[in-house]
Amino acid sequence: MNPDDELLRKLAALTETLGVRGLASADFLDDADRLWLLEINPRPGATLDLFDDDADPLLKRHIDAVVGLPAHSPKRRAPGAMEIVYLDEPCAAPRGEWPDWAADRPAEGTSIAAGAPVCTVSARAETVAKAKAHAHERVRRIRAWLQEGGR
């Protein structure tokens, strides 16, 4: 049996035994010899936005499952990628319009230290590789935009 399949089988059995319903996330520690399960969070994880789709909201699916409504077959979702934007030099968050694909944006005028996270960018494409490349290009665009003061 594929090790990933075995892990998923064990997690499914554990969440069923614990009565976890809806979307959940599991955190592991990988010591290069084995995976250690740290916790199962009975809520969607931080990557929910990466997999979400306005036409089939995952949070609605989660809530429906928690209250016991029947599940529906999921819709196919385009591959997505997210990347956190960090800056090499400090700046202040600009007044300009942020693109829709930039989330976790700081309030106007917020001081951003060098090396601190600025925002999260996301992208979708027909393949994972293209989505990653698109997200990376968006990081470059945000950095350039911030260097220009949001103009």
Stated pTM of the model: 0.73
Q: What is the pLDDT of residues 39-66, one digit of tens each?
A: 999 888 878 888 888 888 889 999 999 9
CA angle 63, 125, 71 (to 5 degrees): 25
DSSP state at residue 85? E
Rounded average pLDDT over 66-71: 90
For residue 25, pLDDT beyond 70? yes
Pairing type for strands 111-112 and 35-41 reads: unpaired
Position 14 confidence tier, pLDDT thresholds 50, 70, 90: very high
Query: Of 54, 27, 49, 51, nearest to 38 (Cα)?
Result: 27
pLDDT of residue 150: 65
Task: Write the single-letter amino acid at 105.
Answer: R
**Contact (Cβ atoms closer than 8 angstroms) between residue 128 and residue 139:** no
Q: Which two tokens stand for residue 38?
A: 């740290």
> Cα 25 vs. chain centroid, distance in angstroms?
12
For residue 117, pLDDT beyond 90? yes
Q: Distances from the Cα of 89 to the Cαs of 118, 129, 137, in angstroms?
A: 11, 29, 19
Whole-number Å distance between alpha carbons of 58 and 66: 12
Cβ-count burial of 4 within 10 angstroms (0-12 exposed, 13-18 middle, 19+ buried)?
exposed
For residue 26, pLDDT beyond 80? yes
Position 3 confidence tier, pLDDT thresholds 50, 70, 90: low
pLDDT of residue 119: 95
pLDDT of residue 84: 96
Q: Which two tokens stand for residue 2?
A: 């594929």
Q: What is the pLDDT of residues 75-110, one digit of tens each?
A: 888 899 999 999 988 989 988 789 999 999 999 999
